[in-house]
């Protein structure tokens, strides 16, 4: 006999069927029916303190595990609070499924209590979204949503479920075969394009590889490293692509972009062939596209055809999944000897040696953020998942941490969502409980979402958060110092009002503090010894420190500012 369920039970069962083990959410009126069967489900529900937190937790979970992150919210404000994490996940291609409650179908359009036009509001913030109007279709929609979220270019998918659909009685059945006539992502690259790319790379004198977040999402880091070695390609990673090749490799040039390494930025400008895979030539990377990579023929491989030719002119377009592209490249490159290109290698090595990342930590001076990051790396041996917010601390984390593996660097790249780190770290730790998850956050970011540390304490998710307290929105302040004659309009938060140690304790976490250079290593050590509670470590850092190198927004990559002296 066919099993009769409520729509809500069918929804939870459908999630279980997709292999979901952890969801992040906040309940409320319209979604209430779905919360009842959750109690009987093996799925772990982590109760966030704000829906934005739930959304970023799902994102952090997805980055750390490579699986689809799931978040749940109620109608109206619950759903609108998810808009930021959804937009964040869309631009960074994070596979997520968001489930939102909705007022009953009979009330839709009546301006009912907690009614918002969720599918309309999230249309531009999701890869696709659904409004359930037939409870019997719940298994199909959930299956379709997961398929869309994780295939092709991954992204967030939202399912809006009216309360009467959750309360309806349905007959459970396995989802129907997918019927998506308009959704057929190309995953296998065209052999002719691969052959052309190999030919171009083999004849190149100054070629380079450029790897982005697409490598991480496709699980193609090993293949990327293999190809970089095979073809002897100096390799730049985008902010999102950190960890796609080991920083310890002599081929690794570090991060590209506005605050990328000199070697990375200059490699673009001097290369004759650039093979970009899983990248989207963000404006923070190209600077003014008119002056970007003036001598280079560009080979661009991406799962999303719309990214190819969007920003830079492409010589050879390759549409395909990054893993499939790299596997094919490795195979087709064959056993040809690795080209030496000694001149080019020497030039690139020269940049690395002459213009390394640097900072000046005085023993009796204020703590520099870069020093904290290097100390954290030294003490942990680099064995941690690093999560960051957005701003100066993010740039320094990406610059100074040595990434050796994929899925161990989680941050908000495209949308630049301040406040991302705390919830994303919680999501990552929930997905990878045996790994050390250390967030490198700024005080500005931290103050946007720190209430989720209560979630971490209550749900026993022992993340560690380094708060780089410079008493300001550091990056905003940096721009004001550089471009607004130092007029600090609304960028100063104050570094002595909020007591982070007391705040940590109030939230059920351990609070630690370092105010001098000598205290940095001991507090890091201490933080690593506490594993039964979350830890918040405040580092009182130099508010005058600026992120360099820097390419001015909209400027040319030929003009890299290395220090303040360059601006004098």
Partner 1 sequence: MRELHTLSVLVEDKPGVLARVASLFARRGFNIHSLAVGPTAEEGRSRMTVAVEIDELEQVKKQLHKLVNVIKITEFKPETSVEKETIMVRVSMPVGKRGDVLELVGIFGATVVDVSPSSLMFSLTGNPRRVNDFLDLVRPFGIVDLVKSGRIALARESKTRKPKKH
CB of 449 to partner 1, least distance (A): 27
Cα 326 to Cα 4, 29, 289, 323, 330: the distances in Å are 47, 48, 26, 5, 6
Site stretch for partner 1 (CB under 8 A), options 100-108, 181-189, 282-290, 329-337? 181-189
Strands 273-277 and 207-211: parallel
Which residue of 272, 283, 304, 404 would you call a contact of partner 1, by CB under 8 A? 304
Which one, 154 or 462, has the nearer CB to partner 1?
Answer: 154
Q: Which two tokens stand for residue 327?
A: 């596997």
Give the residue, chosen from 3, 4, 123, 506, that forms a contact with partner 1 under the rule CB under 8 A.
123
Q: Which is nearer to partner 1, 214 or 391 (CB)?
A: 214
DSSP-derived secondary structure for 347-408? HHHHHHHHS-------TTSPBPHHHHHHHHHHHHTT-SEEEE-SSHHHHHHHHHS---STT-
Residue among 309 and 433 whose Cβ is closer to partner 1: 309
Catalytic sites, residue numbers: 51, 113-114, 163, 475
Q: Is residue 288 part of the contact set for partner 1 (CB under 8 A)?
A: no
Closest distance to partner 1 from the beta carbon of 454 (Å): 36
Residue with tokens 């989720």: 452
| Of positions 42, 181, 381, 486, contacts partner 1 by CB under 8 A | 181
Contact 234, 339 (CB under 8 A): no
- Minimum CB distance to partner 1 smaller for 84 or for 470: 84
**Using the rule CB under 8 A, is 554 a contact of partner 1?**
no
Cα 373 to the center of its chain, rounded Å: 19
CB distance 495 to 566 below 8 Å: no
Residues 191-220 close enough to bind partner 1 by CB under 8 A = none
Q: Does 182 bind partner 1 (CB under 8 A)?
A: yes
CA nearest 453: which of 386, 408, 500, 415? 500
| Contact with partner 1 (CB under 8 A) among 17, 128, 230, 270 | 128
Q: Which is nearer to partner 1, 133 or 171 (CB)?
A: 133
Q: Given strand 385-388, what is the order of strands in its sheet?
A: 409-410, 385-388, 437-442, 464-469, 535-540, 510-514
Contact with partner 1 (CB under 8 A): which of 41, 105, 119, 229?
119
Cβ of residue 184: shortest distance to partner 1, in angstroms? 10
CB of 24 to partner 1, least distance (A): 25
When the beta carbons of 142 and 503 are compared against partner 1, the nearer one is 142
Question: How many binding residues for partner 1 (CB under 8 A)?
Answer: 18
Would you say 311 or 562 has its CB closer to partner 1? Answer: 311
- According to CB under 8 A, which one of 13, 50, 127, 259 is a site residue for partner 1? 127
Among 176, 178, 180, 567, binds partner 1 (CB under 8 A): 180
Query: Could you say whether residue 310 binds partner 1 (CB under 8 A)?
Result: yes
**Contact in structure between 149 and 15 (CB atoms under 8 Å):** no
Could you tell me the two tokens for 315?
């010589």
Please give the backbone phi and psi of residue 364, each rounded to the nearest 5 degrees, phi first: -105, 5
Among 83, 148, 267, 509, binds partner 1 (CB under 8 A): 148
- Pair of tokens at residue 352: 């690395």
Least Å distance, CB 146 to partner 1, is 13
Pair of tokens at residue 425? 């770290």
Position of tokens 């006539």? 181
Run of H or E including 156: strand 156-162
Applying CB under 8 A, which of residues 1, 306, 497, 568 lies at the interface with partner 1?
306
- Residue 139 tokens read as 């298994």
Cβ nearer to partner 1, comparing 307 with 375: 307
CA distances to 144, 189, 526 from 303, in Å: 19, 9, 44
Binder of partner 1 out of 8, 20, 99, 131 (CB under 8 A): 131
Helix axes 51-65, 83-91, angle to 10 degrees: 30
x-or-dash string of contact with partner 1, 237-276, rule CB under 8 A: ----------------------------------------
Residues in touch with partner 1 (CB under 8 A): 119-120, 123-124, 127-128, 131, 133, 148, 180-183, 304-306, 309-310
């Amino acid at each position: 006999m066919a099993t009769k369920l409520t729509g809500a039970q069918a929804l939870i069962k459908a999630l279980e069927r997709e292999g979901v083990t952890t969801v992040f959410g906040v309940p409320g009126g319209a979604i209430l029916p779905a919360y009842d069967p959750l109690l009987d489900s093996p799925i772990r529900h982590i109760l966030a303190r704000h829906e934005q937190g739930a959304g970023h937790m799902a994102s952090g979970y997805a980055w750390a595990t490579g699986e689809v992150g799931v978040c749940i919210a109620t109608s109206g404000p619950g759903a609108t609070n998810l808009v930021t994490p959804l937009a964040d996940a869309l631009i960074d291609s994070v596979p997520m499924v968001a489930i939102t409650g909705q007022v009953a179908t009979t009330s839709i359009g009546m301006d009912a209590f907690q009614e918002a036009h969720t599918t309309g509001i999230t249309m531009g913030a999701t890869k696709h979204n659904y409004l359930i109007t037939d409870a019997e279709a719940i298994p199909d929609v959930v299956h379709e949503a997961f398929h869309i979220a994780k295939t092709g270019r991954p992204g967030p998918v939202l399912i809006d479920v009216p309360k009467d659909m959750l309360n309806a009685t349905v007959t459970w059945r396995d989802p129907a075969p997918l019927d998506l006539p308009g959704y057929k992502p190309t995953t296998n690259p065209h052999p002719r394009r691969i052959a052309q790319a190999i030919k171009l790379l083999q004849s190149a004198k100054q070629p380079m590889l450029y790897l982005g977040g697409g490598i991480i999402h496709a699980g193609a880091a090993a293949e990327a490293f293999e190809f970089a070695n095979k073809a002897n390609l100096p390799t730049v990673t985008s902010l999102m692509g950190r960890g796609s090749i080991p920083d310890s490799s002599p081929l690794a040039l570090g991060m590209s972009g506005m605050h990328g390494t000199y070697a990375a930025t200059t490699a673009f400008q001097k290369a004759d062939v650039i093979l970009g895979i899983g990248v989207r030539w963000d404006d923070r990377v190209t600077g003014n596209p008119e002056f970007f990579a003036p001598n280079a023929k560009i080979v661009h491989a991406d799962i999303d055809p719309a990214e190819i030719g969007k920003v830079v002119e492409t010589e050879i377009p390759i549409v395909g999944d990054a893993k499939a592209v790299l596997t094919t490249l490795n195979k087709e490159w064959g056993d040809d000897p690795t080209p030496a290109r000694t001149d080019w290698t020497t030039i690139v090595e020269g940049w690395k040696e002459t213009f390394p990342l640097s900072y000046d930590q005085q023993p009796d001076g204020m703590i520099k953020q870069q020093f904290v990051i290097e100390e954290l790396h030294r003490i942990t041996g680099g064995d941690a998942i690093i999560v960051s917010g957005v701003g100066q601390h993010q740039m320094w984390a990406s610059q100074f941490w040595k990434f050796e593996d994929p899925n161990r660097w989680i941050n908000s790249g495209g949308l630049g969502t301040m406040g991302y780190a705390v919830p994303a770290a919680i999501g990552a730790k929930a997905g990878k409980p045996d790994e050390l998850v250390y967030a490198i956050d700024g005080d500005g970011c931290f103050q946007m979402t720190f209430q989720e540390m209560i979630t971490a304490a209550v749900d026993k998710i022992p993340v560690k958060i380094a708060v780089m307290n410079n008493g300001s929105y550091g990056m905003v302040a940096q721009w004001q110092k550089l471009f607004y004659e130092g007029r600090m309009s609304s960028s100063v938060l104050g570094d002595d009002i909020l007591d982070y140690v007391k705040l940590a304790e109030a939230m059920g976490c351990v609070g630690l503090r370092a105010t001098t250079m000598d205290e940095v290593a001991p507090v890091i050590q201490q933080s690593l010894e506490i594993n039964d509670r979350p830890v918040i470590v405040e580092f009182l850092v130099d508010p005058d420190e600026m992120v360099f190198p820097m390419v001015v927004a909209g400027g040319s990559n030929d003009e890299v500012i290395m220090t303040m002296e360059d601006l004098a």
